[in-house]
Structure 1
Amino acid sequence: MTDSIPLAALLLKLVHPLFPNMLQGVTLYLALCWTLQPVCAVFALRSLGEKRLLPALAVGVFSACFPTFLARLGHAALCGHWILLVAIGLYFRATRPGADSRPVWVLAILTALTLLVHPYLMVMTGAVLGAVSLTLLLRNRDWKTCTGSLLATVASGTGIILLGSVLGYWGGASGGGYGFYSMNLASPFWPVHSTLFPAVPQTWVEATGGQYEGYQYLGAGVLFVLAMVIFTRKGRSLLASFPKQHAGLLLACLALTVIAISNRIYLFHIPVLLTHLRVPGAEQMRSSGRMFWPVAYLIMLGAVYGLCRAWPRAWPLLMLAGIAFQWCDTREMRTNDHQVEMALLAPATPKDSQILSLVRPFDKIEIHPRLECDGVNAPYVLPLIYAAARQNAAVNTMYTARSTPEAACRLWTEQPHPLSSHTLVVLPGTSQRAGAIRWTDLQHARCGIGDGATFCVSATSTLPKGLSPVPEAPDLPLDQEIITSGPRLRNEEILESGWSGLEDWGVWSETPDPSLYLHLPEDVHTADIILRMHAAPGTTQHVGVFLNGVEIRQWTMSPEDADYEANIAVPPASKALRLQLKINNPVHIGKDPRLLGFGLLQLKIHKLN
């Protein structure tokens, strides 16, 4: 679930002793994808039965300049479109009259291994694998002809289930999005990101706000060749014969297209069908618009194959025209990809070097909150994880494509704990000062502020150079309502520990003993603190109020919003107080994994003297 191409990582680990200076394999994998894309397109065309040089050149250019492929550079694991072309080629070889079982078994193995490249690609190749048995059965009307392919399909599916179970693939929770990240019906033909049609707006095929994931423009060259095929009677006859010869593949394409357009179907911005029905398992394929990729490549291959037969004399000139159109139409996309590739190969910047030197003395990096709980800080955290990987340092978090539900993240477990001299704690985001206060007060850690984050080490360690001291927490305002809802919380350090993520109305306690950190003005000696709270639904909570470990009050709390008051005395020579609230009966509600006691909406401090 890290989008890190596990198959490539495993293979690279085997050869790493021979190449110890190779620190990452992403650029190598991208080079492999760009090299194999046209090669595998030629393999697929030859498997279809067309072996002449000019058609091979055409599919090589079409596939290397395929807009859908060029648009995926920012997502390396999904650049493996060559796998789809290999799968299509193996399908055609497996369904030839008199073919043996070797192609379908190779396709079965490829499908299982593709799970370790990307699950989306695995689903696509799985659809092509399943099409082999269907085609053989529907073409020959005899179960015996598809026995071998059925066994291969079952073996591949079993291998996928076992492999996914061992590696924990089936535990990822989807963040939703099926029906949002879909394909617009007009997308294959609407020239978005086209050099030949630069004024065409993308917004016309963006009906949901997420249909960029369903970007499927085929390119001017492919559309030209396809139009030339459909224009002739012979070309239409070839298309009409396809269902009879390859019914299983047609059904697989229809299934992939249905998933791609999802349950909210749009043609431009015109709603064609809006329903709540879902394909089983579709929520895990929330970016369903991608599922059209094999269909798009089959259209490309069919257009080239059909042109050679629909225009027996003029096809070479038409093919050359199509190559020129495709090449010119994707010029801007290729230029943008080239710039991204150059950035990937660029030497380290001074900022990169600073991050590397920052983490170099440490063999363990702890980042709080973890990315699984809060991905907002990912742009800052990922370079730190990369720097840690460069020196083989352990980290406590990783970017994942499927985030943990906020309610299941248990932020309260990320409490200060004893640190070794080789551990660096990184506190990014909006609550850095609150985190630094906790680590300093509870573990006597030494903390400093850097560019974008606060860093803490053990009391016996030396802080990295270039860090500034952490400023003291600001005094809490007196006689003012301090709101604890997410958008309006200004004094985040008051929520010291035991609290869940901030919500629009306030914040839930999620431990039996949440605590508040109160930094008061120097002239406050005694004060009243007034907390507006409510108990978890359906419960009455008895709460003990402890100030610096001494019980000062007990409250009986109902589920309705109410104010609860306690008198606090500030110890001499101290401005910081810890108010701990011990809850007698926190509860689980429904499927919420949190242990909820009460909700805190706001607080107010009134000076007595």
Structure 2
Amino acid sequence: MSEKRPVLKPSTNRFAVYTLSLVFGLFQALQCFPLALIRGKLPGHASGDIIQHITGQLYFLRQGWHWPLLLDQRLGAPAGTNIGLTDSIPLEALFLKVIHPLFPGMLQGIVLYLALCWTLQPVCAVFALRSLGEKRLLPAFAAAVFASCFPAFIFRIGHAALCGQWILLLAIGLYFRATRTGAGSRPVWLLALLTSLTLLIHPYLMVMAGAILGAVPLTLLLRERNWKVCAPAVMATATSGLGIIGVGSVLGYWGSASGGGYGTYSMNLASPFWPVHSSLFPSVSSRLVEATGGQYEGYQYLGAGILLTLGLVLLSRRGIKLLAQLPKQHAGLLLACLALTLIALSNRIYFLHIPVLLTHFRVPGAEQMRSSGRMFWPVGYLIMLGGIYGLCRAWPRVWPLVLLAGIALQWQDTRDIRSGVHQMELSFLEPPSAENRQLFSLMQPFDRVEIHPRLECDGADSDYVMQFVYVAALNNTLVNTMYTARSTAASACHPSAEEPHPLDPRTLVILTGASQRLHALRWNRLQHAQCGVWDKTIFCVATDVPLPSGLSPTPPPPVLPIDQQIVTAGRQLKHEEILESGWSNPEDWGVWSEAPVASLYFNLPEDIHRANLVLRMHSTPDKPQHVRALLNGTQIAEWDVKPDEADYTADFALPPEEHSASLQLQISNPVQIGQDPRHLGIALLSLKVNRLN
């Protein structure tokens, strides 16, 4: 008699599968993230978006309960900042705030959240595969490894909230359970609740989970052709949508504006198959799948192991037959995947650098998903799950060997990016540098920090400016700005808020950017502040406060060249410090005024007493502007600036003892153009000062 092979009971097999995936997830998490950071230790220094996430949580956990619930009142004061706009994982932050009295030393939960994501990713992948119908141990372990080593998952480490991709796997598993014959309504209601709660993790994940939820009633309707069958799913989907609208309204999610970028931060058609950041193909360049300048956001490489399983399924007749059954069995899911793929590709579709389709059409609401290339993630996970499921049926004899080979390939293929995550997390444990300690000491005595220009006005050097915001967060100091994913009307840039004003002894002003020396001169001249230089930044305090130690004297603004045309923007721009106040951010062609009064500052050579000024300007379209020009308070010219570009001139004289001049341009009627929130008056393209004496 031949021996019978032992067969695991379903409950035993389930326990073994989930235990193995959980242990593997914990191993991955503890290998990547130091325990000190998981327990809530604050990094002594950090860079990138993690500063944004930690800063939002740090302020939130240190303030009392108040309404609006998610508003950090001391961050981005006086308007405050909603931590949903700092990607600080509000759902986790609320939980940590509840237990914070028991764990007062836990001042950030970002790394704890990341560790949970690394732990839950393989577990939810097993759940999704078992929900699809494949319940054997080796395929489950393959799903666990493939999901944990999914390149688009590991690559997202810089955006902590978006590492919650286990939510997508959980949503996929609930979809398959909800669409089984006779499944009942419990899975779809769980999926609806999951989708609603995901808003409080990240809106992008909520949109993806919502697409999977919406696929449930579509699949049931198109498969069964019976409204009664899909009615509970329709109710669950509608309830989830209303819940999202309600929760978002109450917690202040709506009304913020995106900075644009749809069509730029998209996915390249070749991205899922092009091995960027691959350890197996280290010489492969990312430039070939970077056709718009922002397609790094659409990084979707699937990994060598997943591509191996997918390729073998597509090479088999049985595999093709299985694929042919999908439209009949899961039509709603296929439509959801098609919609997500089209959003990810955007209206500028490229295969490598070859344009496939370039249109001006935009999906309604697409600007709110400016980084649309991320929307392919659920499709990628479905390809992974379908590849494992199909392989086990298309190749019944060799699938174990293929899966073992795929596991080894996927693990090796992602070795470098996994190692990069570990090294980055270890760097957060390094003690602060001498420079960091000096900055902390310099800012510590102050109760209020003002950074000018605010990040809402000029975010060109946001990584550098955020170090000051982070130190303010460590000191729990009120700060007037914050880098956010979206802008709100309350926190929008207002030129009047950038003007010098009287300083109290507990306020520190930090001047950054190209025009900081000029701004320091204005603070000193108009408010009698005293300023000094640290690194490439100027710090100003009230005159009755000792200037913090470690600051060097502020150099004067550069002398303006004579008889030389100076452009106000673009690569040739070398004299930014002529733009004193009332101007918007310089653009490629020039700069707009966005206040009724816009000022220019001239620091002239000592031998210049009489000169001729030439300003090349134009007004807003179809709206001429009457402009009065005052030099140091005295009117020197009056112009009617037309919409067409032209030169406007004026002669002026300076007293012998003066070598600097402030030119005020009083603009009659600044207007708004289209959806632009700014009030624009005149556009300044260039200027020239000609010697007359």
Superposition TM-score, scaled by structure 1 size: 0.91
Query: Following TM superposition, by how much is the alpha carbon of 1:554 offset from its aligned partner in structure 2, in angstroms?
Result: 4.5
Residue in 2 that maps onto 1:89: 173
Query: Aligned pair in 2 of structure 1 residues 24, 567: CA closer, same or farther (>3 Å)?
Result: same
From 295, 308, 321, the counterpart of 1:211: 295
Query: Aligned pair in 2 of structure 1 residues 467, 292: CA closer, same or farther (>3 Å)?
Result: same
CA distance in 2, matches of 1:202, 1:504: 27
- Secondary structure, in 3 states, of the residue corresponding to 2:112? helix
5+ residue gaps in structure 1?
Answer: none
* 2:91 is equivalent to residue 26 of structure 1: no
- Secondary structure, in 3 states, of the residue corresponding to 2:162? helix
Query: Following TM superposition, by how much is the alpha carbon of 1:129 offset from its aligned partner in structure 2, in angstroms?
Result: 0.4
- Secondary structure, in 3 states, of the residue corresponding to 2:158? coil
CA distance in 1, matches of 2:219, 2:451: 52
2:626/2:641 contact within 8 Å kept = no
Counterpart residue type for residue 72 of structure 1: R
1:412/1:497 contact within 8 Å kept = no
Counterpart residue type for residue 434 of structure 1: L
- Secondary structure, in 3 states, of the residue corresponding to 1:208? coil
Query: Following TM superposition, by how much is the alpha carbon of 1:63 offset from its aligned partner in structure 2, in angstroms?
Result: 0.7
From 555, 579, 588, the counterpart of 2:638: 555
1:198-227 deviations in Å (ceiling 9; x for gaps)? 343433433434333222222222222233
Q: How many residues align?
A: 604
1:41/1:59 contact within 8 Å kept = yes
1:555/1:564 contact within 8 Å kept = no
CA distance in 2, matches of 1:18, 1:200: 50
Query: Aligned pair in 2 of structure 1 residues 25, 556: CA closer, same or farther (>3 Å)?
Result: same
Residue in 2 that maps onto 1:565: 650
CA distance in 2, matches of 1:425, 1:158: 44
Residue in 1 that maps onto 2:8: none
Query: Following TM superposition, by how much is the alpha carbon of 1:482 offset from its aligned partner in structure 2, in angstroms?
Result: 4.5
CA distance in 2, matches of 1:200, 1:121: 30
1:324-361 deviations in Å (ceiling 9; x for gaps)? 22222222222222222222333323232222222211
CA distance in 1, matches of 2:372, 2:191: 23
CA distance in 2, matches of 1:186, 1:476: 50
Counterpart residue type for residue 265 of structure 2: Y
1:19-41 deviations in Å (ceiling 9; x for gaps)? 22223222112111111111111
Identity of aligned residues (%): 65
From 258, 262, 266, the counterpart of 2:350: 266
From 349, 356, 366, the counterpart of 2:450: 366
Counterpart residue type for residue 442 of structure 1: L
Of stretches 29-38 and 460-469 in structure 1, the one that deviates more from structure 2 is 460-469
Counterpart residue type for residue 350 of structure 2: Y
CA distance in 2, matches of 1:474, 1:229: 67
1:206-257 deviations in Å (ceiling 9; x for gaps)? 3434333222222222222233333443333333223222221122112112
- Secondary structure, in 3 states, of the residue corresponding to 1:278? coil
Residue in 2 that maps onto 1:3: 87
Residue in 1 that maps onto 2:15: none
CA distance in 2, matches of 1:578, 1:448: 22
Residue in 2 that maps onto 1:237: 321
Counting only pairs closer than 5 Å after superposition, residues 40-55 of structure 1 correspond to structure 2 as 40-55=124-139
1:499/1:510 contact within 8 Å kept = yes
Residue in 2 that maps onto 1:176: 260
1:534/1:557 contact within 8 Å kept = no
1:407-460 deviations in Å (ceiling 9; x for gaps)? x74435410112222221111111110110111111111111101211111222
Residue in 1 that maps onto 2:208: 124
Query: Following TM superposition, by how much is the alpha carbon of 1:75 offset from its aligned partner in structure 2, in angstroms?
Result: 1.9
- Secondary structure, in 3 states, of the residue corresponding to 1:60? helix
Of stretches 116-125 and 408-417 in structure 1, the one that deviates more from structure 2 is 408-417
Query: Following TM superposition, by how much is the alpha carbon of 1:122 offset from its aligned partner in structure 2, in angstroms?
Result: 1.1
From 611, 615, 620, the counterpart of 1:532: 615
Query: Aligned pair in 2 of structure 1 residues 82, 346: CA closer, same or farther (>3 Å)?
Result: farther
CA distance in 2, matches of 1:510, 1:232: 64
Residue in 1 that maps onto 2:48: none
From 374, 377, 387, the counterpart of 1:303: 387
CA distance in 1, matches of 2:287, 2:562: 50
Counting only pairs closer than 5 Å after superposition, residues 95-134 of structure 1 correspond to structure 2 as 95-134=179-218
* 2:144 is equivalent to residue 144 of structure 1: no
Residue in 1 that maps onto 2:37: none
1:412/1:499 contact within 8 Å kept = no
Query: Aligned pair in 2 of structure 1 residues 105, 591: CA closer, same or farther (>3 Å)?
Result: closer
* 2:363 is equivalent to residue 279 of structure 1: yes
Residue in 2 that maps onto 1:357: 441
Counting only pairs closer than 5 Å after superposition, residues 120-519 of structure 1 correspond to structure 2 as 120-402=204-486, 409-485=493-569, 487-519=571-603
- Secondary structure, in 3 states, of the residue corresponding to 2:101? helix
Query: Following TM superposition, by how much is the alpha carbon of 1:131 offset from its aligned partner in structure 2, in angstroms?
Result: 0.8
- Secondary structure, in 3 states, of the residue corresponding to 1:307? helix
Query: Following TM superposition, by how much is the alpha carbon of 1:89 offset from its aligned partner in structure 2, in angstroms?
Result: 1.1
Q: CA RMSD in A?
A: 2.7
From 28, 35, 39, the counterpart of 2:123: 39
Query: Aligned pair in 2 of structure 1 residues 476, 241: CA closer, same or farther (>3 Å)?
Result: closer
CA distance in 2, matches of 1:265, 1:490: 37
CA distance in 2, matches of 1:186, 1:523: 63
2:627/2:641 contact within 8 Å kept = no
Query: Following TM superposition, by how much is the alpha carbon of 1:390 offset from its aligned partner in structure 2, in angstroms?
Result: 1.3
CA distance in 1, matches of 2:212, 2:373: 17
Query: Aligned pair in 2 of structure 1 residues 536, 310: CA closer, same or farther (>3 Å)?
Result: closer
Of stretches 342-351 and 131-140 in structure 1, the one that deviates more from structure 2 is 342-351
